[in-house]
Amino acid sequence: MFIKIAINSLINRRVTAWLTILSVATSLFVLLAVKQITSQAKTSFGRTVSGVDLIVGARTGQLNLLLASVFRIGYVSNSVSWPSYQAIKHHKHVSWAIPISLGDSHKGYPVLGTTTQYFDVFKYGNKQSLKMAQGQAFVADAFDSAQVVLGAGIAEKLGYTLGQELVLSHGVGVTSFSHHEHVKFTVSGILEFTGTPIDQTLHISLSGLEVMHDKEHGIESGDTHLEHEHHAHEDVEKVSAVLVGVKAKFATLFMQKFVNEYKQEPLMSIIPGVALTELWQMMASMEKVLLLISVLVLLATLLGMSTMLLASMRERSREISILRALGASPWFVFCLIELEVLVLTLISLLLALVMVWGVSIVAAPILSAHYGIFIDVKFWGDDVYSIVASVLVVSLIMGLLPAINAYKNALQTGLLVK
């Protein structure tokens, strides 16, 4: 009965009530969206690489190296020579070293040149290994090097299947005017979904990368085959970066010092976890500013709701008088106003959650395709509990002023006949 009276009262003022709900829902949407995007971005970045102890590249900013080599965001301006890679690979503290070469693309998706060992040692998430959903890894051989392994996202979005041929392009832009049409790569395998930038990456062998560029510069494949017929044909002049796994954790700092002091060429090595921490520290101030603005907008909107209810008290004097005549106590009227505030806030929260959920569905494929950020589309995230509880408490506090005003009027007002 109590709730029914509150709802009927809001229905009688439905235009004002809906305008209030929309304003509160919009401010809540901004707050929830900022919180969810920052939280999901951290989760996405954190699960992208696992088990890589060091990333080695030419001297640049460590964030630039991390974003380019792992998240395919940006690019590395310089490269690591093949002899330097070999020196790192055969160091006594190194368990494995995987070269990666970037710079080509296919319909806006990045192409990564590497070795078959990449699929064996690279980990993501909670040290999960890469697995093939279909087919197998490419063959790192000069005679059969034009093979490509697709990330699950690319295969699904572009509709590619095993055995299909495709052409790679020069550069990492969405639109390229330079295509390597002289070499057609055949899809040899499709990876399982990982929820990382790997899903949006095409993987080819270093030998395939070399053959593609050799032919582009007029070197016949037959000459290349004869020259390298006795080895796997993986040697290239330079690679973009090297992913390194050490034999023991204590050796990480030794290897980092070895690389940073390497005299043959200027190199640098970064620890992925440390670089990510630096990234979050840089983003922390911006995140706090966005959250502060969102909270201030929400408080202003809740204050507006309180003002609306307070302004309606004069119009509702007859309603309060009738309730008093029917035996309602002043405390009943007080609780009725607070219940109306609670109902308005709950409807606004539900509408805001639906808005965030809908925007997440639309934004998820865009963020994954263009920025390598994967978000889980959830109607009710882990951070929602605290936000909902806080908003409800603040809204009830904001509703105290109109509720107290109604309480006083209930004490003073009798039944007025007009």
* Residue that wins the pLDDT comparison between 178 and 96: 96
Q: What are 100's strand-pairing partners?
A: 241
The bridge status of strand 109-114 relative to strand 54-58 is: unpaired
Amino acid of residue 403: A
> Closest by alpha carbon to 212, among 157, 170, 154, 262?
170
Please report the pLDDT score of residue 127 as a whole number.
Answer: 80
* Residue that wins the pLDDT comparison between 14 and 374: 14
- Local confidence band at 103 (pLDDT 50, 70, 90 cut-offs): confident
Q: What is the mean pLDDT of residues 205-211?
A: 83
Distance of CA 171 to the CA centre of its chain: 24
CA–CA dist 99, 57 (Å, integer) = 10
Torsion of CA 116, 119, 122, 125, to 10 degrees: 170
Give the global pTM.
0.68
- Asked if 168 contacts 107 with a C-beta cutoff of 8 angstroms, the reply is no
Q: What is the mean pLDDT of residues 169-195?
A: 74
- Asked if 81 contacts 238 with a C-beta cutoff of 8 angstroms, the reply is yes
CA–CA dist 191, 202 (Å, integer) = 10
Residue 408: partners with Cβ closer than 8 Å, 6 or more residues away: 330
- Report the chain's terminal Cα–Cα distance, integer Å: 27
> What are the pLDDT digits (tens) for 315-341?
666 666 676 666 667 777 777 778 888
- Asked if 379 contacts 210 with a C-beta cutoff of 8 angstroms, the reply is no
Please report the pLDDT score of residue 232 as a whole number.
Answer: 39
